Amino acid sequence: MLVTDPEAVYVDLTVGGGGHSVLILRRLGARGRLIGCDRDGDALFQARTALPHAVSLFQCRFSEAEPPLRPLVADGAAGVLMDLGVSSHQLDTPERGFSHRYAGPLDLRMDQSRGETAAQLLARLSADELIRLIWDYGEDPQARRIARAVVAARLRETIETTEALAHVISHSVAATRTKSLARVFQALRIAVNDELSELSRGLETAWHLLRPDGRLVVITYHSLEDRITKTFMKALAAPVRDARDPFAEDQPPCGRLLLRKPLTPDDDEVARNPRARSAKLRAIEKMK
Banded pLDDT at 77 (limits 50, 70, 90):
very high
pLDDT in tens, 181-235: 999 999 999 999 999 999 999 999 999 999 999 999 999 999 999 999 999 999 9
User: Which residue type is seen at 113?
Assistant: S
pLDDT in tens, 86-121: 888 888 899 999 999 999 999 999 999 999 999 999
d(CA 169, CA 163): 10
In the chain, the domains with their CATH numbers are 9-83+195-286 (3.40.50.150), 99-193 (1.10.150.170)
Given a contact cutoff of 8 angstroms between Cβ atoms, the answer to whether 66 and 205 are in contact is yes
pLDDT of 168 above 90: yes
* pLDDT for residue 173: 96
Q: What does the pLDDT average to over 167-175?
A: 95
d(CA 112, CA 96): 9
* pLDDT for residue 248: 77
CA-closest candidate to residue 286, choices 24, 12, 70, 79: 79
The neighbouring-strand residues paired with 282 are: 218
pLDDT in tens, 226-273: 999 999 999 999 988 877 877 778 889 999 999 999 999 999 999 999
- For residue 131, the number of C-alpha atoms closer than 13 Å in the C-beta half-sphere is 7
SS3 assignment, position 158: coil
d(CA 228, CA 241): 21
With 0.95 as the threshold, say if the pTM is over it: no
User: Which residue type is seen at 153?
Assistant: A
Question: What count of other Cβ atoms lies within 10 Å of the Cβ of residue 125?
Answer: 18
Given a contact cutoff of 8 angstroms between Cβ atoms, the answer to whether 160 and 119 are in contact is yes
